[in-house]
A and B are shown apart, each in its own frame.
Chain A
Amino acid sequence: MTPPPPVLAHARQLGRDARDRALSEPVHDERTAALLGIALGVSFLVCFLTGVTSHLIQNPTSWFHWPARPVGLYRLLQGVHVATGLATVPLLLAKLWSVFPNLFRWPPVTSLAHAVERLMLVPLVCGSVFMLFSGAANIAQWYPWHFAFPVVHYWVAWMTMGALVAHVGAKFATTRAALAHAAAADEIGVAARDGMTRRGFLAGVGATAAFFTFATVGQTFRPLRRLAVFAPRRPDIGPQGLPVNGTPSLQLAQRARSADYRLSVVGDVAEPLSLRRADLEAMRQHQAILPIACVEGWSADAHWRGVPVRDLLHRAGVPAHVAVEVVVDSMQHDSHYRRSLLSNGQARDSDTLIALELNGAPLHMDHGYPCRLIGPNRPGVQQTKWVESLTVHRV
């Protein structure tokens, strides 16, 4: 084999020197990587568990039951999911930066186990960056891709967590060793004069993560809404003081305003109902303070007034002791979210309403006029707007 030209050999040597210099700095050592790795592992686990729970709520299965109470549990769940994901952005970049010189170790693979370890880094790094980018773009309703966000975000999350499990197993001993010699390692961190100290680096990362949280969490935590300078939503900006996600087409708005509008209650009922909005207004009205909690992480409390679903079931002749599920259909037939399901517990909850009013005034068209579903502890996409039918099924 012919030796490389001198210029190339010189360049390689410069690269090796740069890598070794970097690896000798505290921000690139194993202790920094271990500390950031633990923080990242926790934040990924929080995002994963909250995300999978949200997925199960939106895709009901026989073995998973989501209760109607406490009222704000879904709001907390999804608020934590998005806030943690956003705070993870600087953590992930810092961790990847910390271990970046390792990418250039030579030889790249020293054993079969080492090859497996490095191979599993591909789904880990690609998946981690993809999850944060796709999540951050989605909450700003920016879709530069040609796929349905929920299903891809969900399965890539599983892929990333699989790769993370493999990585934790590979780095367990290294991490334990790096954390065991805390005192000596901190001395090195403080002693480094030319580069960044470990403490300075980690403090900068923590401060940036904290700032990003304060700059966005006001989209769900109302007292901090004025600090939410980077949040894609403000809980107080929107028609009737409430943000909206889906808006109606011109045709849908015309049908919603039509005098022919009827809400039907059908299915396993003794007496099918067909009700005009005026009929609903004439029934007993119930008021509830409930949040709209969007899967995109924003949420806001509002005062809702309308007819309890259980009153409609009673009027349709469904006995109170009979367990039912209620399918709620919207006039918005072309939407992925045109239909939602009420479990028996949700349908019988006193605060689950076919709402006619919001914050003391008739529903704005963007909020689902002539009537919408609103219930406790449900994702926003399941608070169906422009409701046209309730179909009752005995279970």
Chain B
Amino acid sequence: MTTPELATGGRLFWASATVGAATCAIAVYNLARSVRPHSLVSAVSFLGGAGVAHDFVWAPAVVLVGFASRRLPEVARRPVRMGLAVSAVTLLFVIPELHGRGRHPRNPTVLPLDYARNVTATLLAVWCIVVVTVVVRRVRRGAPAQ
């Protein structure tokens, strides 16, 4: 069984749902009349794609990785999971820079850094912290009880 949720409803709920839905509708209407049809198709694709990418790709991948990491020793499980999560979010965060499509030969001031090197250094630092944490936890667990 699932944990109980508080019942939805009441004046605050319906007031905010009405205001929120009306704002949404006005925004979608204005979006539709502000752009050309092919731009609207592109915008809707990216909008829908954003939800799909999260709910059907990113989150299931995290579930699978979490499931796979259950076999790790208990002392390493949490630090490794945290390391995996931070690494994945960092890589996701830097995709636009790593992708490098914004680079233009006439304007070297856009994306001027070596992002592949920087993200590699960041991930190395993250995994050094993970390894140190696992070692410290293991040493502590191995110490005689006080």
B34 touches A155 (CB 8 A): yes
Residues of A within 8 A of B146 (CB): none
Q: Evaluate whether A232 and B111 lie within 8 angstroms (CB atoms) in the complex, with A146-B42, A159-B31, A169-B12 already known.
A: yes
B12 touches A233 (CB 8 A): no
A113 touches B54 (CB 8 A): no
B22 touches A117 (CB 8 A): no
Q: In chain A between 168 and 207, which residues have their CB closer than 8 angstroms to a CB of chain B?
A: 168-170, 172-174, 177, 194, 196, 200, 204
Q: In chain B between 16 and 48, which residues have their CB closer than 8 angstroms to a CB of chain A?
A: 16-17, 19-28, 30-31, 34-35, 38-43, 46-48
Q: In chain A between 134 and 192, which residues have their CB closer than 8 angstroms to a CB of chain B?
A: 134, 136-137, 139-148, 151-152, 155-159, 161-170, 172-174, 177
Q: In chain B between 81 and 122, which residues have their CB closer than 8 angstroms to a CB of chain A?
A: 81-82, 85-86, 89-90, 92-94, 96-97, 99, 101-102, 104, 106-113, 115, 118-119, 121-122
Interface size class of A (residues with CB under 8 A): 35 or more
| Max chain A Cβ within 10 angstroms of own Cβ: one of B38, B53, B77, B106 | B106
Within 8 Å of chain B (Cβ to Cβ): is A231? yes
- Chain B contact surface mostly: helix
B15 touches A155 (CB 8 A): no
B28 touches A147 (CB 8 A): no
**A296: nearest residue on chain B (CB-CB)?**
B110
Residues of B within 8 A of A114 (CB): 8
| Listed stretches A122-130, A301-309, A323-331, A377-385; interface member | A122-130
Q: Evaluate whether A159 and B111 lie within 8 angstroms (CB atoms) in the complex, with A96-B54, A120-B21, A169-B13 already known.
A: no
Residues of A within 8 A of B2 (CB): 19-20, 23, 105-106
**A250: nearest residue on chain B (CB-CB)?**
B106
| Max chain A Cβ within 10 angstroms of own Cβ: one of B10, B89, B102, B109 | B109
B102 touches A141 (CB 8 A): yes
Once bound together, how far apart are the Cα atoms of A23 and B42, in whole Å?
36
B81 touches A243 (CB 8 A): no
Number of chain B residues whose Cβ lies closer than 8 Å to a Cβ of chain A: 78
- The answer, among B6, B13, B89, B109, for a CB contact under 8 Å with A233, is B109
Q: Evaluate whether A161 and B109 lie within 8 angstroms (CB atoms) in the complex, with A23-B3, A137-B96, A196-B82 already known.
A: no
Chain A 90-118: CB-based contact to B (< 8 A → 1; otherwise 0): 10010011001001011000010110110
A177 touches B107 (CB 8 A): no
Within 8 Å of chain B (Cβ to Cβ): is A261? no
Once bound together, how far apart are the Cα atoms of A166 and B21, in whole Å?
7
B20 touches A151 (CB 8 A): no
Q: Would you give 8 A-B contacts (Cβ < 8 Å), ordered by A?
A: A29-B3, A93-B89, A96-B54, A152-B39, A162-B24, A165-B20, A172-B16, A177-B6
Residues of B within 8 A of A (CB): 1-3, 5-10, 12-17, 19-28, 30-31, 34-35, 38-43, 46-48, 50-51, 53-55, 58-59, 62-63, 74, 77-78, 81-82, 85-86, 89-90, 92-94, 96-97, 99, 101-102, 104, 106-113, 115, 118-119, 121-122
Residues of A within 8 A of B (CB): 19-20, 23-24, 29-30, 86, 89-90, 93, 96-97, 100, 103, 105-106, 111, 113-114, 116-117, 120, 122-123, 125-127, 129-130, 133-134, 136-137, 139-148, 151-152, 155-159, 161-170, 172-174, 177, 194, 196, 200, 204, 208, 212, 215, 229-234, 237-239, 243-245, 247, 366
